[in-house]
Amino acid sequence: MKTMESSQNRLPLFPLPLVLLPFMPLPLHIFEERYRKMAAHCLEQNQPFGVVYAGSNQTRTIGCTARISRVTKRYDDGRLDIMCVGEQRFRAEQPLQLDPWLAAEVAYFGDEDTHRIAELAPAAREVVKKLELYAAVVGGTVDRAALDALEPQQLSFVTSASGMFSLAQRQNLLELTSTLDRLQAVKDMLMHAIARRRMTRAAQRVVGSDTDIEALLN
């Protein structure tokens, strides 16, 4: 995987059992003392912190910065409720154990093909069409105007945050350095989800609506 490394910076790290993506909102309840201090430091310095996915086997080295947009609640015992938003992707190059929180020297990177509008624009339109179709299949709707207003890269990240993606899939999408590849991956996943929904409906018509078809298909 190629990355576009632009600068080296020391960044506070917050390992979490989730994958943060650029543009993604992230509400957090901060209760551990070290992370209360980290949040206070980030607010005072107007600095983001880095979120890295901490799974059962390992903590990933590629993550996304989170900037605190507001403190939604302060508790008497020092706990905080904060709202953050994902910003930049990074690779943790050198983990550092600071007092009291974890940090790392990081290299920031971005997509390499955001200038290829002639290819990205139609790919983005295809994703929006598939989102509309998926919503129709599950009995919902999408805000077409809001989706059309997004830049292709932003659309690729916003849709990657969908609940239909596993944490491993989101991590892979986070690490891609091609907006076009991310849009294609999202479209493929949507097509698979649409086909699965249609197959489930067809099977339920045969065996009855009370049968858990999804469990049988897994």
* pLDDT greater than 50 at residue 216: no
How does strand 49-53 pair with strand 8-16? parallel
As a dihedral over the C-alpha atoms of residue 180, residue 182, residue 186, residue 191, rounded to 10 degrees, the angle is 50
CATH superfamily, with its number, for domain 8-109:
LON domain-like (2.30.130.40)
- What does the pLDDT read at residue 130? 94
Cβ–Cβ under 8 Å, residues 31 and 73: no
- What does the pLDDT read at residue 138? 83
* pLDDT greater than 90 at residue 115: yes
With CA atoms as reference, report the closest residue to 70 among 87, 51, 46: 46
Residues 177-193 have a mean pLDDT of 94
List the domain boundaries for the chain: 8-109, 117-217
* pLDDT greater than 60 at residue 124: yes
pLDDT band at 85 (very low <50, low <70, confident <90, very high): very high
Identify the sign of the CA torsion 44, 49, 55, 56.
Answer: negative
Cβ–Cβ under 8 Å, residues 44 and 82: no
